[in-house]
Amino acid sequence: MLVTSYFLICLIVEMRILSNHKSKQKLKFLNKFEPLLFSYLEGDGLPEEIVHKIPHRKYRFLLEYLGEFLLMLKGEDFNKLAALITSTKLSDYLLLKLSLNSKKNIIFSSFFVGIAKIKKAEPILQMKIKKHNDQIFFRCSTALARINSYESLNLILTEFKRFKYYSYLLLILTEFDEEICNKIIKLLKTELPEPLTVTFIRVLRYYKFQTAGQSVLTCLVYSYSKEIIIESLKFIEEIKYKKAIPAVSRLIEHSKPEISSQAVKTIMKLDSEAFEDRVYSKLFDQNYEVQYQAAYGILNYCNDGEEKLSELAYDLQNSNAAAISRMLLSEKKVKEG
Amino acid sequence: MILLKYIIIFYNYLLLTYTICIGTIYLLLNILSFKRILQYKRKMAYVDLKKIFKFQNYKPISVIVPAYNEENTIVESIKSLLQLEYPEYQLIVVNDGSTDGTLEKIFNHFSIRQVAFSPLYKLDSMPVKSIYMSPRYQSLVVVDKANGGKADAINAGINISKNPLITVIDADSILERDCLLKIVRPFMENENIIAVGGTIRVANGCDIIQGNIVKIGIAHSWLARFQTVEYLRAFLFGRNGFDVLNSVMIISGAFSCFSRDALIKVGGYRRGSIGEDMEIIVRMHEVFRIENPETKITFIPDPVCWTEAPERLKILRSQRIRWQKGTIESLRLHMKILFNAKFGALGLIAFPYYVIFEMAGPIVEISGYFVFTFAYFFNIISTPFAIAFLSVVIIYGMVLSILSVVLEELSFKKFPNIQDLFMLFAAAVFENFGYRQLITWWRFKATIEYISGKRNWGKMEKKGFN
Amino acid sequence: MESKFPRILLAEDNEVVQRIIIHKLEKENYSVTCLSTGEKVVETVISIMPALIILDLLLPITNGLTILNELKSNLSSSGIPVIIFTTDNNEEMLNKAMKLGAVDYILKPFSPSELIVKIKHYLNLSSTCKL
């Protein structure tokens, strides 16, 4: 046991030393390369000329360094940096690493082929996402999405079924450009598992895709799932889809407080005048969340909202509504200074 | 006489078995935890938390900070807490009848004004004198109330919380900016989660500027270094291991997050508790798990909260005595969970573990030292046995501590200097020659005191939190 | 006397972003003071009185919003134009910053040329106002 401990300690220490050495080497490389990069960005030299000056064994350092810039930039500078990858030997280097079996290499190169939009990488990426590893699936799918490889969409959705984390799918889908919304609208017309529908509606909300109003309204009206209803309400609220008003108003008195409170929130943003009275009655609901949303809506979207809540603030018979009113009124007063 | 001799020999073997058992359990917990931590790290590595929060059903949070006599640090703490990265949260500072200038400092620095709040809930707490808000810092709410202790103060904060998630923090906790994003994530992924704990690390030796850790380092005093290793072993790996079995029995009051509805349902914190952070968790298990076996209380392995560990023996002693009494009290109040299959692994593994090894453990260990020494000096046990015994006790302990440091390096790798790493390894070794025994002795005293009826905090400690 | 090389204060913790902005700004003949953490920003602004401030919202130690609040409450610094720099996941913070009086914002990922155009615009604006 002692021997094992000693061995482990030595291993850890060695790993540290190696890592420190690598950092020092990287720093040395950067100090030499950075002036070259900046003058290239100003218009000096062609991509091939720059990369030619870097020895092959330093490609990894070069790419790690470029990667940080690529994440932060867009526009002309981004295009010039991406050209350093796409129009030079770096592209072949990455494609080679991508096609290897090593997880580390796949993960490393998938980032670059995606961000630099190397179309040639598509078939390799498609092959890799069929593997069982979730990290590889995620990285390669993200790369395909960044390349806007719509041909791969079905494959991604099929392979995704092996995993449970829909938040990952959300991140992947939002790497596509806005055209993904049109694809989603078509997919929403088919039978889908509930979490997938929710994810799709979230993507539509991310893009604030106005054209999807009717599709999401259909989901709202025909679904029994709490999550789908809530997500649809949020989308409708985001794009202010007035055609949905009748459907949303029917949900104000829903038995599930999560739905009722979201419906109250949404309706007040769409048409506070017409629904003021109905929402006012929700101030006396059993559930705190519903009461809160009703009070918030009345205060912020109705002309005489403040007076209404002030009356309620001292209503001894309805202590919850009174407490919420007092809190919201106080907050407003303090905000206004 | 011969009977006595055999009893002593038997007891020594029992002790040996006990030591091997507890060591093995810790080893298993370490392995389970490590696996889970790696899984967690993998998940987090390619997840852009802020982006996800932008889309998903993030719930607004009410952060409650009970404060008692914190005039030296309260302004900096509040300033730092107002800068957490989260889309929507309110910061409720509860001044629990401080006798120093805590409230005055808050008044002067944040220009707070009285507001007409009334409580939204009715949890037990001492009367609230006034509630204040600040026009410049609109997420800040300050509650001024009569002194009642930490649990009482938290209840007062819950009573005026407007948000569905409640995070409870110690006034001297140092938090990483994205801590709220991390601790809320489990709630978003699983509807059945009612409480989440954060991992606490020792801040001694770290460079801290305005309530932010800018450089992680190791403590200068050996006492704090031993505690650093202890926190790694017990917190990071011990509790995470229990999480795999859905049997987390304690989450630290320094940083924890709850569903407000769950807190209201169990009636809030128990006033006058010695170990209110453990007691509420065990109570939550008891109330929720029968109704809904899927209920989960979990941990995030990410070290997002840092706290100063006591560097003086006197303070460490009172802390450990309080912890032990708190543990015993929490277990005593909820004994129906013990060996109750309805609670799954909690009732059949975790609770018994706490009763045998955490509650009774110090008694077994201390008595063990006496019996062992007596037996050796009276030649009841042989020298080879004595050597074997000591080896197991000390070496097993040492190896476990070293393993914790190794696992920390392989997972979070928070200590940047290689010298610090060496110090940690050294602390892992030396911890077993005196420090552990001292802690066990104090825990033993606490257990005896508790059993004999001395269950309060003691005069000085009653009003304070530390 | 107006300096030939207007001074810009850059408060940004990402090293890569720092390096590229400093390089681009120096090419345009601006002098740049760069800070990676928030605790000395207000103090530095008051001592060097830059012509313009580029402020990252998520600065360590003291975040951009708190700094902006302090700058705008202080008579000497409230007139200096502040351009906010942030990622696009931060809508709430950005709205608060604009309400506090920031003149403009740049989202990350960003285009350095766009940033230069904005800087020139606000520097011209503020020197015109001084006339």
Do B140 and B112 form a contact (C-beta atoms < 8 A)? yes
- Averaged pLDDT for residues A177-203: 95
Question: Is the pLDDT at B37 greater than 90, yes or no?
Answer: no
Do A116 and A123 form a contact (C-beta atoms < 8 A)? no
From chain B, the residues in CB contact with C37 under 8 A are: 209, 214
- CA distances (Å), origin B359, targets A214, B326, B428, B444: 62, 10, 24, 9
CATH code, C31: 3.40.50.2300
Beta strand pairing call for B174-175 and B165-169: unpaired
A-B CB pairs within 8 A amount to: 98
- Averaged pLDDT for residues B174-179: 91
Label residue B405 by pLDDT band (50, 70, 90).
confident
How many structural domains is chain C composed of?
A: 1
- Averaged pLDDT for residues A135-141: 92
- Averaged pLDDT for residues A176-199: 95
Q: What pLDDT score does B463 carry?
A: 34
Query: Sign of torsion, CA B213 B215 B217 B219?
Result: negative
Residue C1: inside a domain: no
Query: Where is B270: in which H helix or E strand?
Result: none
From chain C, the residues in CB contact with A71 under 8 A are: 109
Structure tokens at A208: 């604030």
Chains that touch B (3 or more CB pairs under 8 A): A, C
Three-state SS for B69-81 is CCCCCHHHHHHHH
From chain A, the residues in CB contact with B55 under 8 A are: 170, 202, 205-206
Q: Which of C23, C89, C106 to mutate to test the interface with A (most CBs of A within 10 A)?
A: C23
Per-residue pLDDT reduced to its tens digit, A44-92: 788 888 888 888 888 888 898 899 899 899 998 999 999 999 999 999 9
Is C43 an 8 Å CB contact of chain B?
no
d(CA C18, CA A87): 27
Which has the closest alpha carbon to B396: B8, B13, B16?
Answer: B16
A129, amino acid identity: I
Task: Give Dmax (Cα) for chain B.
Answer: 80
Q: What pLDDT score does B71 carry?
A: 92
Label residue A250 by pLDDT band (50, 70, 90).
very high
How many structural domains is chain A composed of?
A: 1
Per-residue pLDDT reduced to its tens digit, A275-334: 999 999 999 999 999 999 999 999 999 999 999 999 999 888 888 999 999 999 999 999
Per-residue pLDDT reduced to its tens digit, B204-246: 999 988 888 888 899 999 999 999 999 888 777 777 888 888 8
From chain A, the residues in CB contact with B92 under 8 A are: none
Task: Kindly report the pTM of this predicted structure.
Answer: 0.91
The C-alpha angle with vertex B446 and arms to B444 and B450, in degrees rounded to 5, equals: 120
Task: Give the least confident one: A127-136, B91-100, B173-182.
Answer: A127-136
Label residue B321 by pLDDT band (50, 70, 90).
very high
Is A68 an 8 Å CB contact of chain C?
yes
Q: Which of B91, B181, B402 to mutate to test the interface with A (most CBs of A within 10 A)?
A: B402
d(CA A51, CA A67): 15
Q: What pLDDT score does C4 carry?
A: 62
Which residue, chain included where needed, has tokens 């140092």? B174
d(CA A100, CA A111): 15
B54 and A134 within 8 Å at the Cβ level: the answer is no
Nearest CB to B210; choose among C39, C58, C90: C39
Residue C36: inside a domain: yes
B360, amino acid identity: A
Please provide residue B235's backbone torsions phi and psi, each rounded to the nearest 5 degrees: -75, -65
Is A327 an 8 Å CB contact of chain C?
no
What percentage of chain B exceeds 70 in pLDDT? 95
Residues of B with CB under 8 A from a CB of A: 42-43, 45-48, 51-52, 54-57, 113, 115-120, 133-135, 138, 160, 162, 164, 188-189, 395-396, 398-399, 402-403, 406, 409-410, 418, 421-422, 425
From chain A, the residues in CB contact with B162 under 8 A are: 292, 327
Residue C45: inside a domain: yes
Residue A317: inside a domain: yes
Please provide residue B65's backbone torsions phi and psi, each rounded to the nearest 5 degrees: -125, 105
Chains that touch A (3 or more CB pairs under 8 A): B, C
Question: Is the pLDDT at B399 greater than 50, yes or no?
Answer: yes
Nearest CB to B54; choose among C39, C60, C89: C89
d(CA B248, CA B350): 8
Chain B residue closest in CA terms to A321: B120
Residue A117: inside a domain: no
When computed from its CA atoms, the radius of gyration of chain C, rounded to whole angstroms, is 13
Is A23 an 8 Å CB contact of chain B?
no
Q: Which of C89, C91, C108 to mutate to test the interface with B (most CBs of B within 10 A)?
A: C89
Domain with A298 in it: 251-337
Per the document, the length of chain C is 131
Residue C2: inside a domain: no
d(CA B380, CA B400): 30
Label residue C1 by pLDDT band (50, 70, 90).
very low
DSSP state for residue C116 in the 8-state scheme:
H
Instruction: Tell me, rounded to whole angstroms, the distance of Cα A294 from its chain centroid.
Output: 29
- Distance from the Cα of B237 to chain A's closest Cα (Å) equals 17
Quickly list DSSP for B108-142. HHH--EEE----SS----PPEEEEEE-SSSTTEEE
Nearest CB to B116; choose among A4, A230, A326: A326
Which has the closest alpha carbon to B55: A290, A269, A230, A220?
Answer: A230
d(CA B112, CA B136): 9
Domain with C59 in it: 7-130
A73 and C110 within 8 Å at the Cβ level: the answer is yes
Nearest CB to A38; choose among C23, C109, C114: C23
Most confident of the following: A5-19, A35-49, B184-198, B370-384 = B184-198
Cβ-proximal residues to B332 (8 Å cutoff; 6+ apart), any chain = none
Structure tokens at A289: 């969340």
B65 bridge partner residues: B93
Nearest CB to C111; choose among A34, A42, A73: A73
- b/e per residue, A48-75, with b = 16+ CB within 10 A? eebbeebeeeebebbbebbbebbebbee
- Averaged pLDDT for residues B264-268: 95
Go through the domains of chain B in sequence order and give each one's CATH number.
57-312 (3.90.550.10)
C92 and B79 within 8 Å at the Cβ level: the answer is no
Is C60 an 8 Å CB contact of chain B?
yes
Cβ-proximal residues to C98 (8 Å cutoff; 6+ apart), any chain = C84, C105
The C-alpha angle with vertex A222 and arms to A246 and A253, in degrees rounded to 5, equals: 50
Nearest CB to B409; choose among A2, A12, A313: A12
Residue C116: inside a domain: yes
Question: Is the pLDDT at B452 greater than 50, yes or no?
Answer: yes
Residue A24: inside a domain: no
Per-residue pLDDT reduced to its tens digit, C31-77: 999 999 999 999 999 999 999 999 999 898 899 999 999 999 899 99
Do A62 and A33 form a contact (C-beta atoms < 8 A)? yes
From chain C, the residues in CB contact with A42 under 8 A are: 27
Beta strand pairing call for B140-145 and C31-35: unpaired
